């Protein structure tokens, strides 16, 4: 099953944007793009690892295409703010697409160029597009965090 990996601020919000999508079979949150082995949340929060908070999406391409996932990604955050989303600040909250295949890379670059040319945003898109690297899974408590919080609130 193909995997897509996106960072766009707090990983809880990015994960939640994909979790209910038809064709998405599994989501998780973790860290990618840094130089620190096996980072924990506090390491990343301290900005010593270079990692971004990311959501990793396992999907069925027969039910949802990668370009559809890219559209969800663009809508779930502001891709024009460098190293921040809302109140979250720091490189761990950067906007980034980590591609797993050459086809994903081509689709990501095309999607970004199309969106940039659309004049949808007053500022340029700062989203990085990089090859996927090691993925470090966040602790169980952080997985599907917003869905769990909703259950607790009811």
Question: What pLDDT, in 10s, does the model give residues 72-118?
Answer: 999 999 999 999 998 889 999 999 999 999 999 999 999 999 999 99
Active site residues: 10
Q: How many C-beta atoms surround the C-beta of residue 85 within 10 A?
A: 21
Region of poorest pLDDT, from 21-25, 49-53, 97-101, 119-123? 119-123
Domain that holds residue 13: 3-153
Alpha carbons 13 and 75: distance in angstroms, whole number? 11
pTM of the model: 0.93
CATH number at residue 90: 3.30.1060.10
Place of tokens 């990983």: 11
Q: Report how many domains make up the chain.
A: 1
Token representation of residue 93: 């909250």
Alpha carbons 57 and 136: distance in angstroms, whole number? 14
């Amino acid at each position: 099953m193909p995997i897509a990996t996106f960072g766009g601020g707090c990983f809880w919000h990015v994960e939640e944007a994909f979790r209910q999508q038809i064709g998405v079979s599994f989501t998780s949150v973790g860290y990618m793009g840094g130089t620190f082995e096996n980072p924990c949340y506090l390491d990343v929060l301290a900005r010593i690892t270079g990692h971004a908070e990311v959501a990793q999406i396992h999907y069925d391409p027969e039910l949802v295409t990668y370009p559809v996932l890219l559209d969800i990604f663009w809508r779930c955050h502001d891709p024009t703010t460098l190293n921040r989303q809302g109140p979250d600040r720091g490189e761990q909250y950067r906007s980034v697409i980590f591609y797993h295949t050459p086809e994903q890379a081509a689709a990501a670059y095309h999607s970004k160029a199309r969106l940039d040319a659309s004049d949808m945003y007053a500022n340029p898109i700062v989203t990085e597009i990089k090859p996927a690297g090691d993925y470090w899974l966040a602790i169980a408590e952080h997985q599907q965090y917003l869905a769990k919080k909703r259950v607790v609130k009811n």
